[in-house]
Each structure stands twice: as structure tokens, then as C-alpha cells.
Amino acid sequence: MLVRDIMTRPVVAIGPDEPIGDVTALMAQRRLRHFPVVEDGRLVGIVSDRDLRTVGGDHPAARPGTGRTDPVRELMTRTVWTAHPLDPIDEAAAVLRRRSIGAMPVMEGDDMVGIVSAADLLDALVAMTGVGRASTRIEVELPNRPGALAGLLGRIATRGANVASVLTTRSEPETVSFVLRVGTIDGIGLAAALREDGYELAWPPELDAERA
């Protein structure tokens, strides 16, 4: 999945001379958390709700002398990290995490074609893992060797179930842990069959003899 698949467009951008109070009101009205700042068609900054909350109070990061009537250029972040529409979403997520930022304008040349936020990436994760659809979550530990995952997928296929997603949660020299989203509502039955085949499952939990 690429940034272009999840980014928000069209982009709501503001000018650098907009009063901070007006920007705060507009952000609340639009229910947004970030505004790119554009001047003469160029991206010159970005402002977040976190920036705006530092104005007019006793916030530790408040800038002395900056008030709600001042232009947003006094508050905006001028070094803007950006993404490209063809960036993989995992790389975009890594930049957001590494830079401790909440959103990036998406640039294609000099044109701003969208904005991608942490919320967009979380929505993509939910979609990719299949949460919300009729399915079962299986967490299994496999030997770290070629063919181990293929063997598991083949075993699941023999029960007429399709695997919607596969994520690696941990990789060690000897073992790898996977989380699978499987298209079946009989998760307990599938888990029991896999355990009978010798697979080590961390989820779903095994029913004890009394409950079984």
C-alpha cells in the first residue's frame, strides 16, 4: 500500500498571515489537526493543533509575546518533512515516528497533492489486518526456515479457509512469530486442528479440559 492510497485530499491549506485565532477556529470547524502553510504557491511551513495550544495560556512551550492576533507564521514549523505519493506507507510511518510529527504534506514535484497523518496510517493498518470483517486472529510461532509459513498456509487452506493478512511480530534466529487474519468464524476449531498438527499458537488461548 502506498501513500497515495491513504492520503487525505484535497488539502486544506492556509496562508502565513492568517491570525492564529482564526486558524484555531478553522481547525476546530474542519475537525483537522494539521494545516500546511502555503505562500505564493510554495509550501513554507506546517502548523498543528499542538502548536496552537501553546498560545494564550501557561503552556511550557509557549512563545513569549505571541498571541491569537499574531500571524500564524510566528508559530508554524518551517522545516517541513514531506512524503511522495509513491512512498510505501511503512516508510512514511517510520518518518512520522522518527521525527515525532503527526502529519506530512504529500508532494509531487512542487505540487501539494495530499496530506498523510498518523490517523491515516492507523486506518490503513486496521484495513490491512482485516479487523472488522468476519474473521479469526491466529498468532503462531514457526521455525525460522524456508517453507515453514507455506506449510502453515497450506494446512489452513485444507480447512477451506482463506488467509486475509500475515504480519510478522517477532523474528529470532530460530523462530518467527506471525499474526494471521483468517476468513473463518470457527477460530477455536481451527486453532485446535493446528495444535493437533504440532503448531504452537499464542492466540486464541487453548481451552482447558474443564471448559472443553
> Can you give the pLDDT at residue 209?
41
Nearest CA-CA partner of 22 in 99, 167, 30, 137: 30
**What local confidence, expressed as pLDDT, does residue 64 receive?**
73
Strand order in the sheet with 175-182: 163-171, 175-182, 136-143, 200-203
The torsion of the CA quartet 52, 55, 57, 59, rounded to 10 degrees, works out to 70
Res 210 pLDDT > 60: no
User: For residue range 157-199, what is the model confidence (pLDDT) as tens digits?
Assistant: 998 999 989 999 999 999 999 999 999 888 899 999 999 999 9
Stated pTM of the model: 0.77
What is the three-class DSSP state of 177?
strand
User: For 207, phi and psi rounded to 5 degrees?
Assistant: -70, 135
Q: For residue 212, what pLDDT is reported?
A: 45
d(CA 116, CA 34): 10
Give percent of the chain above pLDDT 70: 94
pLDDT, tens only, 76-123: 999 999 999 999 999 999 999 999 999 999 999 999 999 999 999 999
Which pLDDT score is estimated for 128?
Answer: 81
Mean pLDDT for all residues in the chain: 91
